[in-house]
Amino acid sequence: MPLIVSGEEMQDSSLDVHTLINSHHSLRDVAMMLCTQPVKVVGPVGLLYIDQREWAATTPYDKKVTILGSDDATTCQIVILRHTASGAVCMGHFDGCGVEEGAFNMCCRLQELSSSHVDGSYELHIVGGFSDQRNISEQLAQTLLYTFHKQQILINLVTFCICELNDIPRGTIHWPIICGVGINVKTGEIFPAAFPDRGPDMALRGARHFTGTHQMLDIYDCADSLLKIGPFTYDPMRGVDLWLSQSDDFIRQHLSTSPAVEPLHFAGNVRASLKHIQQHPYPDVTIFPDNQSRLYRKDENGVWVRIR
């Protein structure tokens, strides 16, 4: 079914990123409002952090999670899909891998969580990406538009804070204005955000980015408030020892889609994941020997405690 923008059904020919932005000033206005908001630094209490190539869904009745959040989106884009009547919400961090499957699964899950509500609508928010030299952000935004345009539910595109609408030049370099976003599950408020505490197994979760595993993973069971990591496997990485011997600048230049604008912690996070791959080249043997997820539940301090 077609995407809806400002009450108008989109046609295939009008789904070009620049045409859409130039034709619907409401999208430009919403993006400008979002970009002028201060960045909220979100602590661990109530937070479910979603990493690259992950997605999750929950409802306002969740007793453990009140905020879904993701950041470090330079050429990536963070997608939020929310049902206005049930308040159920999905968030996914897309980098171009597994887009069709990830979007389809997010839509299906939101339909399941909202099935008892005959009223309401589905609202789509896409945030991230900038005017990068290689046009990676624009290509991903275009793919996301077409993918959600093809879903079997009517979706209202409300926020499209991407590419030129999320871009600021600094000297000769273009930078994204917003790299992270959160949504308050109780109220539906969306805000620019940063997340110093991202939860468990981040090196393991990040290892998937470098080893040919392209699936968008669902990481949360909202019925039982459980963070679930895996099971998944990946191929051993050739030359991992050599990669680990390189400088931070070399890692940024060769393992980033936007090396000039990566955050300071980028190289350190990559090293942690490469080290994990080095130590666990076969995660199905050493990390998931019984082909079961690693399960976590939040305690009263917001810490994810492993229960399996």
Task: Note down pLDDT in tens along the chain; length 308 residues.
Answer: 789 999 988 887 668 899 999 989 999 999 999 999 999 999 999 999 999 999 999 999 999 999 999 999 999 999 999 999 999 999 999 999 999 999 999 999 999 999 999 899 999 999 999 999 999 999 999 999 999 999 999 999 999 999 999 999 999 999 999 999 999 999 999 999 999 999 999 999 999 998 877 899 999 999 999 999 999 998 888 899 999 999 999 999 999 999 999 999 999 999 999 999 999 999 999 999 999 999 999 999 999 999 99
The three-class DSSP label of residue 102 is helix
How many angstroms separate the CA atoms of 147 and 155, rounded? Answer: 11
Enter the pTM of the model: 0.96
Supply 108's token pair: 């299906």
Spatial CB neighbours of 157, under 8 Å, sequence gap ≥ 6: 3, 4, 5, 10, 27, 124, 126, 145, 148
For residue 302, the 8-state DSSP code is S
Say if residues 127 and 34 touch (Cβ distance below 8 Å): yes
The DSSP element (H or E) to which 204 belongs, if any, is: helix 202-207
Could you tell me the two tokens for 198? 């991202």
The CA distances from residue 198 to 25, 166, 175, 302, in Å, are 35, 24, 23, 11
State phi, psi for 231 to the nearest 5 degrees.
-80, 145
Distance CA 268, CA 249 (A): 11
